[in-house]
Structure 1
Amino acid sequence: MSRNAEHDHSLVMGLDFGTDSVRALVVDAATGEELAGEVAYYRRWSAGMYCDPAENRFRQHPLDYIEGMEAAVRGALAKLPPGAAARVVGIGVDTTGSTPAPVDVHGRPLALLPEFSENPNAMFILWKDHTAVEEAGEINHAARHWGGTDFTKYVGGVYSSEWFWAKILHVLRHDEDVRSAAFSWVEQCDWIPALLTGTEDPRRIKRSRCAAGHKAMWHEDWGGLPPEEFLVHIDPLLQGLPGRLYTATYTADKPAGRLTPAWAERLGLPPGIPVAVGAVDAHVGAVGGGITPGVLVKIMGTSTCDIMVVPKEKIGTKLISGICGQVDGSVIPGLIGLEAGQSAYGDVYAWFKELLSWPLKALLPESSLVNRETGEKLRRELEDDLLRRLSEEAAWIPAGSTGLLALDWLNGRRTPYADQTLKGAVVGLTLGSTAPKVFRALVEATAFGSKAINEHLMKEGLEIREVIALGGIARKNDFVMQVLADVLDMPIKVAAADQACALGAAMFGAVAAGLYPKVEEAQKKMGRGFSQAYTPDPEKAATYQNLYKDYLNLGKMLEAAWSSAGEATPLR
């Protein structure tokens, strides 16, 4: 029987592990009011350790997660009135995905062992790591030609290098020491709850339905993960691994276990409180942002994830091609969760910022006009203000007047039809092309990428009645959001929750703790509504409709020239 959250003054905590940091949010379970929060940045990641962008290698040390979680939770609790931490009755967890790591027989990521502490292959392989492009291509080829079931049919028909099996196979092929030491592999969203609940045996960890269905080709139709026969057909190195992974999966409203006394002491929380099964951040954020059937939620950060939910009876047996999966219960239990997205969004702007900032980093330290300390302060000040100023200047440029057209595939394409071999482009450059003009073209390109996703989903028969945006970009950059509304030719509501992913995690924590019988009830009570809305300008929308056609044509031309994905389906 569920407890009455409106009268017991219970608190719940949401833990949101993002690309750069972890956020801890303490929420009033009755109202959704955000009572206290703290962000802790990953120390090693911030220093660029274990990553090589030129090789598309992005790895994270598990100690970054552990240290960040402790700092964030204790920092948030310190902002509460004395004794309030004792009222926390549940924890929800979301993380980036697919971000797997090799673990030993005791469930420890290998990088926590002394002999592997500096080996990137023993660490968590971040979602945006694209070192496994070759392996993804082999998985796609095998799925279509091995003679049996196409195990990619519920993940849009194209398996991505950003996902579980491709990353595992890449490491197994390239690191014999890790291959010998790895008993199993665990997604970040599964490992954090397992760590907090003291679940050591990898075979006993309650695995996320969300991560398994969207990233690992798990489906009830074939009894779980793809069979070993298929995996060995791809590479014999995968022999034996399925038996050390999992068969059952769980939705994020279920408890993964209870907080151990040791972790309760480390975090400053009550021992024994339920910790919910983990899930991927975008799916949890969509819940925190107010997703319902017919609504597309855009989680806008370094990349974007576009999430929808559809009743089972409405989607029936239809397979949606070219997306990142359709999974029963991956967002809201009882509904089919759909995922799409762009491999780079904010990262496109960050790249341009880094490009323009090169002289500041290379020349200011050598300047004889300012000392090194002043030069460093000046560099930070200018870099921190660069995107704001570019946005202001670009906003004055009329839509369609730059003479420039860009492709947003700087980190490959996620949807429609994943292909991480693709590259970005800017065409039409002249001696009159200014930084604000180029920036505007990049902003328009990311919006065009969003429109391509919307149009693809609607072409597949899905109804998009409303768009909700959340994340740092949605809350901080009016120019980017207005361009997006104009390009989509749809109003966009911005979720009021400052940390919608952490709020969504807190909602799942509340359900796992028994405060609400189902996620929809938690949404109704704990949802924060919307802070603002962007309405499209009809004249600009018409201009962009013509420019969007040029974007599609440019994409087709360059995809034909550059793609090495073999059988990947081209953008249509």
Structure 2
Amino acid sequence: MPRGDLVIGVDCSTTAAKAVVWGPTGIALSQGRAEFDLSHPRSTWAEQNPEDWWTATQQAIRRAVQTVDRERISAIAITHQRETFACLDRAGMPLRPAMVWADTRATEEVQKYGTAEVHRITGKPPNPTPAWYKLLWLATHEPETVQHTAMVVDVGGFLIHRLTGEFRTSWASADPLGVVDLSTFDYSDELLATVGLGREAFPTLHAPGEQLGTITEAAARQTGLPAGLPVIAGLGDGQAAQLGCGITAPGTAYLNLGTGIVSGTFSRTYASDVRFRTLAAGIAGGYTLETFIGGGTYNIRWFVEKFAGVNTQMLGLDLSPEQVLEAAADMLPPGSDGLIALPYWTGALTPYWDHHARGALIGLTGVHGKGHVYRAILESLAFEQRFLTTGAEEALGDQVTRIVALGGGSRSRIWCQILADVMQRRVEVVSEYESTCLGAGVLAAAAVGIHPSVETAAAEMTGTGRAFDPDHTHVGAYDRLYEVYRQMYPALRDLFGALAAAQ
């Protein structure tokens, strides 16, 4: 029996650490948050100080446990930004800044080593995101770093070591690094040897939901947690979002409308394809099949900050610029009066994997204004998600009949309705905003017996609120526009390459 009926979920993302104390029905009882920096020393580099992850996590946990009975807390689990990794020395200290998932410096390594066989082993189409390619970059450009590396850790593994003193992690946390054979959920000795490292330089792998250790006396003093508290193997933030949306079976996809847009479905069998990337799921032995749009709310924020020029304070409005633009966009017909966008502001990921691809607006005329561009961007992201979801369905032979939306973009009524209309599927919005962190809480609650299984914990602790059904008066128009959209990237692909070469 668990020591209490509460668990803590920690989400150490790209910008902040969040800690939430969850009740047995998924109600957030208290939470804490602490931010940290992301640096870009060069245009294609993205780095962080791993010590900032630990400092922020300590602060977030201390704040979260201040207002609850700590004796009721039974376990803690961690979810985190994926693909990001740190190289540590024998004392467990960072040898250099951590290389973040958004770092794209390893393009030459992708071209040289990104084979179909690597894709088959890892489930990751060749691209600079997985850590394996960045480790190959280090082997070439910083061989002394690799030589002195005693341990390569994902973000979760780093925090688990600080909490328990053990170098352990879950295979659902290490898998996004691109060094795990997804047919066995074990490290690929072949891939590690290519970098020049052995499995002794990586944490031991455990199933998500397995106890990895307990809080040490030192960690208890730093976090305010009880010493001896069980630490449960967590998972990457995408897979955690899946659990936090209550998805434990095929047929439903989560749609995280964040800076990037990540959508995933659950599968009981392994498959690899360029139309999605495959990861270990939160349910041990299962898989998460994901599509990824690099620019989600990033594209919207770009337009609002760089071009929209909507100053609501000067207008005396208690509204955000996005709310004003949404009101304008809502008055426009489907298709934004003939304006259509290609949303590759940050390049194209699934299924094209083209880092030369860029954003485009087609059909501009003198009648178009700010509301038209805003709506066209929202529609383009819906078109792209329909394209990706349909491609994944064709590859797997399984239909997605229901979409569960989360993330900042899910607060937009007009965007959720456009998604439902374009994708011709019901879109439900999660009732708990911190659903990614909740996914870690689901694992912790099942691990210590608050619920008998991960599936039961997900069913009992998650739920949806608002729902959007397709407006069938818009379906025909969006079907015609979608056929135009599908032709845009193929028509522009060679121009994107030529533009990159000209620059």
What's the TM-score once normalised by structure 2's chain length? 0.90
CA deviations over 1:502-528 (Å, ceiling 9, x no partner): 11111112233343342112223322x
Q: Equivalent of 1:68, from 34, 56, 75?
A: 56
Q: Structure 1 residues 385 and 90, CA, compared in 2 at 3 Å: closer, same or farther?
A: same
Q: Determine if the alignment matches structure 1 residue 126 to structure 2 residue 100.
A: yes
Q: Structure 1 residues 124 and 431, CA, compared in 2 at 3 Å: closer, same or farther?
A: farther
What's the offset of the Cα at 1:179? 4.1
Q: Determine if the alignment matches structure 1 residue 192 to structure 2 residue 159.
A: yes
What's the offset of the Cα at 1:382? 9.5
1:451 maps to 386
Greater RCO, CA 8 A, separation 6+? 1
In 2, the alpha carbon distance for the partners of 1:334 and 1:429 equals 49
Q: Determine if the alignment matches structure 1 residue 309 to structure 2 residue 266.
A: yes
CA deviations over 1:456-508 (Å, ceiling 9, x no partner): 1111112212111112211x211211111111111111111121111111111
Equivalent pairs, count: 495
What's the offset of the Cα at 1:177? 5.3
In 2, the alpha carbon distance for the partners of 1:396 and 1:17 equals 39
What's the offset of the Cα at 1:9? 4.7
Question: Which residues of 2 match residues 171-570 of structure 1 at below 5 A?
Answer: 171-175=138-142, 178-199=145-166, 205-219=167-181, 221=183, 224-228=186-190, 232=194, 238-239=195-196, 241-246=197-202, 249-293=205-249, 294-312=251-269, 319-327=272-280, 330-356=281-307, 385-460=320-395, 461-474=397-410, 476-527=411-462, 529-563=463-497
- Structure 2: tracts of 5 or more residues without a match: 499-503
- Look up the SS of the partner of 1:533 in the other structure: strand
In 2, the alpha carbon distance for the partners of 1:220 and 1:277 equals 17
What's the offset of the Cα at 1:228? 3.9
Two-structure CA RMSD over aligned residues (Å): 2.8
Please say if residues 92 and 277 of structure 1, whose CA atoms lie closer than 8 Å, have aligned partners that are also in contact. Answer: yes
Q: Determine if the alignment matches structure 1 residue 165 to structure 2 residue 122.
A: no
1:94 maps to 79
In 1, the alpha carbon distance for the partners of 2:497 and 2:123 equals 19
Please say if residues 252 and 265 of structure 2, whose CA atoms lie closer than 8 Å, have aligned partners that are also in contact. Answer: yes
Q: Determine if the alignment matches structure 1 residue 18 to structure 2 residue 26.
A: no
Q: Structure 1 residues 20 and 247, CA, compared in 2 at 3 Å: closer, same or farther?
A: closer
What's the offset of the Cα at 1:309? 1.3
Higher fraction of strand: 2
In 2, the alpha carbon distance for the partners of 1:337 and 1:479 equals 28
Please say if residues 84 and 177 of structure 2, whose CA atoms lie closer than 8 Å, have aligned partners that are also in contact. Answer: no
CA deviations over 1:72-98 (Å, ceiling 9, x no partner): 222222233xxx022211001000111
Please say if residues 346 and 473 of structure 1, whose CA atoms lie closer than 8 Å, have aligned partners that are also in contact. Answer: yes
In 2, the alpha carbon distance for the partners of 1:334 and 1:518 equals 14
Q: Determine if the alignment matches structure 1 residue 34 to structure 2 residue 28.
A: yes
State percent identity of aligned pairs. 25
Q: Structure 1 residues 383 and 432, CA, compared in 2 at 3 Å: closer, same or farther?
A: farther
What's the offset of the Cα at 1:156? 4.9
In 2, the alpha carbon distance for the partners of 1:441 and 1:250 equals 45
What's the offset of the Cα at 1:392? 1.8
What's the offset of the Cα at 1:558? 1.9
- Look up the SS of the partner of 2:187 in the other structure: coil
In 2, the alpha carbon distance for the partners of 1:454 and 1:176 equals 41
Please say if residues 406 and 442 of structure 1, whose CA atoms lie closer than 8 Å, have aligned partners that are also in contact. Answer: yes
Please say if residues 85 and 152 of structure 2, whose CA atoms lie closer than 8 Å, have aligned partners that are also in contact. Answer: yes
Question: Which residues of 2 match residues 114-153 of structure 1 at below 5 A?
Answer: 122-140=96-114, 143-144=115-116, 150-153=117-120
In 2, the alpha carbon distance for the partners of 1:36 and 1:534 equals 30
Q: Structure 1 residues 102 and 247, CA, compared in 2 at 3 Å: closer, same or farther?
A: closer
- Look up the SS of the partner of 1:409 in the other structure: coil
What's the TM-score once normalised by structure 1's chain length? 0.80
Please say if residues 151 and 203 of structure 2, whose CA atoms lie closer than 8 Å, have aligned partners that are also in contact. Answer: no
CA deviations over 1:194-233 (Å, ceiling 9, x no partner): 221112xxxxx2233124334414126578434447853x
In 1, the alpha carbon distance for the partners of 2:127 and 2:319 equals 34
CA deviations over 1:155-209 (Å, ceiling 9, x no partner): 556222111111222234334553454333211122112221112xxxxx22331
In 2, the alpha carbon distance for the partners of 1:396 and 1:10 equals 48
In 2, the alpha carbon distance for the partners of 1:540 and 1:223 equals 45
Please say if residues 286 and 299 of structure 1, whose CA atoms lie closer than 8 Å, have aligned partners that are also in contact. Answer: no
Please say if residues 133 and 420 of structure 1, whose CA atoms lie closer than 8 Å, have aligned partners that are also in contact. Answer: no
2:93 maps to 108
Please say if residues 99 and 187 of structure 1, whose CA atoms lie closer than 8 Å, have aligned partners that are also in contact. Answer: yes
